Amino acid sequence: MPTQPSQTPPAVRAGIYTRISWDPDGQRTGVERQRVDCEALCTARCWEVVHYFEDNDRSAYSGKKRRSYEEMLSAVEDGELDAVVTWHNDRLHRSPRELEAFIALVERSGVRVAVVSGGDYDLTTPDGRFTARIVGIGAVARKESEDRSRRVRRKHLELAERGRPAGQLGWGVRTDDQRDLVREAASRVLEGQGLMTIAKDWNRRGVARPTDCPWTAPTLRKVLLSARIAGLREHGADPSGKVLGALSPAVWEGAIDRPTWDHLRSVLLNPERLTLRNTPTKYLLSGLIYCDLCGGRMGSRPRDRVTRRYVCAGNRPGHQLAILAQPVDDIVAGHVLDLLTTPSFRESLVARLRLARRRASGTSPRRSRIGSEPPSEAGGRLLRHRRAPTAPLPLDQGAVGTGG
């Protein structure tokens, strides 16, 4: 009897997940070690690695979104993986809520979970899920994270009480040149100059910045509000800098003294301080005039840095009209000024104001001296009557034709 050839079972498609909570320098040494160990486990089990998922410098305890972890879940959901391999169970989860969602995914998909250190957990069985919840991932791992977080907070509190920085000193007190710049900025602010003016001046002078971006008013404001420039170490501060935390004398030299810094903060945090520039209006009639050809509303659109225009996009296909803004503004401004110098128009405005006051007080209005014609119609009639004939408005030579 002939024997049938043996069929090779399909290879298990594995996805390796690695994670390190703290890697501020981005060296990736921790996740690389995890990857090597996970690959060795896959080789020993004859599994094929088809995906790598890495969350470097990303805590699972903080609750922040882990991009690679979410991608791994999507790959399992889409049937791209037969097994998930990780170095330890706490690399996957530090939260019971995440664990329960992962258990539900395992039950739906049947994906395996393999662990290099600590042994595998069969999350498809009650015993495996119980062990994962109590020992491997859930309560114990979360307690470890909470203990580490408590130790880190205590360490930072101790550093703050001793006046020592938690890391690298912030900009403004690292060198004598930076202290001189802080004193210059503080003096200019107290003299009434704006932060944007100082920032532009520093950018023009090529003053070194704390980041690769140019100086801006918010960046300079953050520096001047910080306690470090007064030789103080702050702990538990509000990120906006408006509310101070606990202050201790710092081990570094400040740029300004405490009274000057307090005065500077009172100026910068004054709610009446003007923080926006009064930019003059460039277009008087944008959205207020209409195209005579199609009736469309005309908006502002400069042709270049010098030439201002009003443009109608057109309500008909192929129609576009552009006129120079300066002649239109001059004509309308001249009519308005001429109208305001007319005694009858001033009287109509006064009558309109009196009428509004009488209506607000509940008394019956009287007729104005200009007769029964409403003031608004009188003003419009006066404007039409006094309008002088004008030459055709100049079209912009670069405008599209008005055919269509």
**3-state DSSP of 356-370:** HHHHHHCCCCCCECC
Name which of 340, 343, 299 is nearest 320 in CA terms.
299
Catalogue the long-range contacts made by 184-190 (C-beta closer than 8 Å, 24 or more residues apart).
185/220, 185/223, 185/224, 186/224, 186/229, 186/255, 186/256, 186/260, 186/261, 186/264, 189/224, 189/264, 189/267, 189/268, 190/260, 190/263, 190/264, 190/267
Average of pLDDT values for 305-312? Answer: 85
Position 393 scores a pLDDT of 57
Domain spans in the chain, listed from the N-terminal domain onward? 12-143, 176-268, 289-386
Amino acid at site 315: N
pTM more than 0.75 = no
CA nearest 93: which of 125, 44, 52, 139?
139
Pairing mode of beta strands 12-20, 47-56: parallel
CATH class of 176-268: alpha beta
Query: Where is pLDDT greater, at 52 or 334?
Result: 52
Examine the pLDDT at 396 and tell me if it is beyond 70: no
Please report the pLDDT score of residue 197 as a whole number: 92
Whole-Å CA distances, 229 to 9, 256, 265: 68, 6, 12
Quick one: pLDDT band at residue 377, thresholds 50, 70, 90?
very low
* Per-position DSSP letters for 239-270, written without gaps between them: TTSSS--EEEE-SSPPSS-HHHHHHHHHHHT-
pLDDT of residue 149: 66
Provide the pLDDT for residue 78.
Answer: 92
Residue 378's alpha-carbon distances to 346, 349, 368, in angstroms, are 11, 10, 11
**pLDDT of 296 higher than 60:** yes
pLDDT(9) > 70: no
Instruction: Provide the mean pLDDT of the chain.
Output: 78
The residue among 274 and 301 whose pLDDT is bigger is 301
Residue 79: predicted pLDDT? 92
Highest mean pLDDT among 24-28, 75-79, 268-272: 75-79
Lowest mean pLDDT among 2-6, 175-179, 252-256: 2-6
Q: Over 90: is that where the pLDDT of 213 sits?
A: no
Share above pLDDT 70 across residues of the chain, in percent, rounded to a whole number: 74
**Is 98 a residue whose pLDDT tops 90?**
no
Q: How far separated are the first and last CA of the chain, in Å rounded?
A: 87
What's the pLDDT score for residue 145? Answer: 61
pLDDT of residue 223: 92
**Residue in 282, 160, 151, 181 with CA at minimum distance from that of residue 227:** 160
Q: Is the pLDDT of residue 383 over 50?
A: no
- For the domain made up of 12-143, give the CATH fold: Rossmann fold (3.40.50)
- On the question of pLDDT at 241 being above 50, the answer is yes
| Tally of helices (H runs) and strands (E runs) in the chain | 13, 10
Q: Is the pLDDT of residue 309 over 60?
A: yes
Could you give the CA distance from residue 323 to residue 331 in angstroms, rounded to a whole number?
13
Indicate the pairing of strand 83-86 with strand 12-20.
parallel
Q: Place 271 in a pLDDT band, splitting at 50, 70 and 90.
A: confident
Instruction: Please count the other Cβ atoms lying within 10 Å of the Cβ belonging to residue 318.
Output: 10
pLDDT beyond 50 at 374? no
Distance CA 309, CA 325 (A): 5
Rg (CA), the chain: 36
Instruction: Tell me the pLDDT tens digit for each residue of 102-134.
Output: 888 988 998 998 988 766 777 777 777 777 666
Q: pLDDT value at position 376? A: 43
**H or E stretch at 13:** strand 12-20
- Does the pLDDT of residue 202 top 90, yes or no? yes
Residues 313, 296 contacting (CB under 8 angstroms): yes
- pLDDT confidence bin for 53, thresholds 50/70/90: very high
Give the model's pLDDT for residue 386. 41
